[in-house]
Amino acid sequence: MSWLTAEQALNLLGTKSQTLYANVSRGRIRAKPDPADTRRSLYFTDDVKRLATRHAGRRKTETVAAEAIQWGDPVLPSALSTVFDGRLFYRGQDAATLAENAGLEDIALLLWDMKRPLRLEEGEVRHKIPSLEAAFLALAARTTSDLPSLGRSLPALQSEAESVFGTVADVLAPGAAGMPLHQRLALAWGRPDAGDMIRRCYVLLADHELNASTFTARITASAGATLSAAVLSGLSTLTGPLHGGAWQSVRSLIARAASIGAEEAVRSYLSEGRPLPSFGHQLYPDVDIRGETLLQCLTLPPLFAKVRDIGEQLVGERVNVDFALTAMTHAYHLPEDAPLIIFALARTVGWLAHAMEQATSGRLIRPRARYVGPPPR
């Protein structure tokens, strides 16, 4: 969860309770009432960890680094995106505001810092049905023939990024060249009425700081690998259940709610000591702005609405973008894997932006390990 009790916060900070309260009053640590006991407070995890790291001068460097790499401060400088004050920004522009009218093509131009229109050529092999498997195969076929990213100018990399993006778009949003990608995907699924919601999803999911898949893509690019290899590594990471595969957990929760009732389903998760899937987000102390933006444009199916209301009441966290994506899939009768298909094409834009930023820096990402195995002989 993204909130800590006073005891947990004090253990991390290594200070007295008076210091904790002082940091809250000075705005350094955000706090909110504990839903289970309003006489107590909960403290935002990221704020506590950030403050603890700053005051860790007496601890060994490797200890601080090990604790910071999981939901810690960013370990790499980037000019692409950031979460600030509960909002997501792409190169300083509010993503939720961009989602009102922009398309994924516009976000690509913004994140790639391109001054000319995007050109996506129609591929030789056309796929009528969006296929994640086809995306893996198409990217893998390119990795051995594309040029390495190291030592190439930004304009050269931007042209290649267009080509790689076109390869992915050709299989994840099949359709006629020149048609907006969200319309291509909506038509491929036979649901043209879902086009505008898909567009909004594309914009809101295009990038999100140094998440797991993006960090993986940057590591790949830092070694000088091809842009297609960087996207392939990002796509592989995205499929994990703690990342782009989170929709499956939401689907399981909804299936349980359909079987035993919404409140019993939520209570059963909590009774089993399992976190409720897609409630809360580490980077958003109040609400995931991406999910909130989508839900404002969507009439939730009744069962989803019940699970959301009961879950938010019992857990004290708001639903996030994974919940909104899964609800949208149900509302528009899209294929079950629609959340991952949408997520993958949107995030390809971000992976390419980060890969180019990393490649042009000329720096290899190579952390050290703190060895904890048997003593060397």
Active site residues per annotation = 243, 281, 322
| DSSP string for residues in 294-321 | HHTT----HHHHHHHHHHHHHH---B-H
CB 180 within 8 A of CB 105: yes
| DSSP string for residues in 72-90 | -S-SS--SSEEEETTEEEE
In which element (H, E) is residue 31 found? strand 31-34
Spatial separation of the C-alpha atoms in residues 168 and 130, rounded to whole Å: 10
Spatial separation of the C-alpha atoms in residues 11 and 23, rounded to whole Å: 15
Spatial separation of the C-alpha atoms in residues 157 and 230, rounded to whole Å: 13
Closest residue by Cα to residue 322 from 217, 251, 237: 251
Neighbours of 58 (CB within 10 A): 6
Spatial separation of the C-alpha atoms in residues 49 and 8, rounded to whole Å: 11
How far is CA 52 from each of CA 6, 29, 36, 82, 333, rounded to the nearest angstrom? 14, 11, 26, 21, 46
The DSSP bridge pattern shows strands 81-84 and 87-90 to be: antiparallel
Please provide the size of the chain in residues: 377
Compute and round to an integer the Cα radius of gyration of the chain.
Answer: 22
